[in-house]
Structure 1
Amino acid sequence: MKPLLATYISLPGTAAEAMQHWQDVFGGELSITRYGDLGLEGIPFDPDPQAVAHSTLVLPGGTIAAGDAMGDGEYPLTGTAYSLLYTAGSADEARTAIGKLEAGGGQMNMPFAVAPWGDWYGQVLDRFGVMWAFTAPAGS
């Protein structure tokens, strides 16, 4: 297997819903493993059998991985401290994905328009608190 860098997002009990939504938006091959699927015994915590232990969404240009966070910690997803950058093949492809994220409960953070550097760029904050930045080549 060749090396691969994937984004991993720890979600507060919404990993399955988020990954299925992102598959609806971007396509790709989705795999979800729940703790109940693993038959774990003797681990140092008692997870909900329906919680997502690990999931991957494999897209043509990369992979998103996610799981449900364990514990009672805070999960500051909302904001722009981090984001996922999706480079679309065309402005229309980016507009389609942006529209699906907005229709799914997201909100425009920065309108998709030609940026000062000449390419298309915009941002959407999805309903899970993840900020998606989109770019597409100039003239597309």
Structure 2
Amino acid sequence: MMATLSTYIAFLGNAAEAFTHYQEVLGGELHLMTYGDFPPMEGMPFEPDPASVAHARLDLDGGTITGGDAMPGEDYAIRDTVYSLLYEVDDVDKARELIDKLVAAGGSVNMPFELAPWGSHYGQVFDKFGVMWSFDVAMAEDLGG
């Protein structure tokens, strides 16, 4: 097996909703397992809600987003600018379409998607769950065009 790297997001009880939304916006193949899907797990430090997401994975062209519901008692801010999911696409119109879908579903623009000083089109959006998405479309020369 080849090593891979993917993003993991611990949601505060709404992972199923978030991953279903991401699949609606981005497409891909969604795999979702709840704690109720597992046999009893003795020795767990907490009693998980059977409906809570133990693990979710959305396989996309070019990457994977993984996550689940946070452990009981974990309470932290998801919305922050210290991180973002950087989605590099090869078409400005496709990037705008994805941004529009995230905003229309309750997200907000953090940085308008436009031609950046370095030559790429770039912008940032917070989705309705507070996750920041950065979109980048490299200039044509970078794409071999």
Scaled by the length of structure 1, what TM-score is found? 0.96
Write out the 4+ residue segments of structure 1 that deviate beyond 2 Å after TM superposition. Answer: 137-140
Pairwise CA distance, 1:70: 1.1
Q: Alignment partner of 2:122: what SS? A: strand
2:67 maps to a residue whose letter is A
Does the Cα contact within 8 Å between 1:123 and 1:134 map onto a contact in 2?
Answer: yes
Aligned to 1:129: 130
- Distance in 2, Cα, partners of 1:54 & 1:94: 27
Determine if the alignment matches structure 1 residue 62 to structure 2 residue 63.
Answer: yes
Does the Cα contact within 8 Å between 1:91 and 1:137 map onto a contact in 2?
Answer: no
Task: State how 1:72-91 maps to structure 2 within 5 Å.
Answer: 72-91=73-92
Scaled by the length of structure 2, what TM-score is found? 0.93
Aligned to 2:18: 18
> Percent identity of the aligned residues?
52
Give ranges in structure 2 of 5+ residues lacking alignment: none
Pairwise CA distance, 1:40: 2.1
2:28 maps to a residue whose letter is G
- Distance in 1, Cα, partners of 2:93 & 2:71: 38
Pairwise CA distance, 1:110: 0.4
Does the Cα contact within 8 Å between 2:57 and 2:67 map onto a contact in 1?
Answer: yes
- Distance in 1, Cα, partners of 2:125 & 2:39: 38
Aligned to 2:121: 120
Per-residue CA distance 1:57-102 (angstroms, 9 max, x = gap): 0011110001000122222111201110000111001001001100
- Distance in 2, Cα, partners of 1:2 & 1:26: 24
- Distance in 2, Cα, partners of 1:70 & 1:51: 9
Per-residue CA distance 1:21-48 (angstroms, 9 max, x = gap): 1111111110000000002231231000
- Distance in 1, Cα, partners of 2:90 & 2:56: 26
Aligned to 1:3: 3
Q: Alignment partner of 1:73: what SS? A: coil
- Distance in 2, Cα, partners of 1:83 & 1:22: 15
1:119 maps to a residue whose letter is S
| Residues matched between the structures, number | 140
Does the Cα contact within 8 Å between 1:11 and 1:75 map onto a contact in 2?
Answer: no
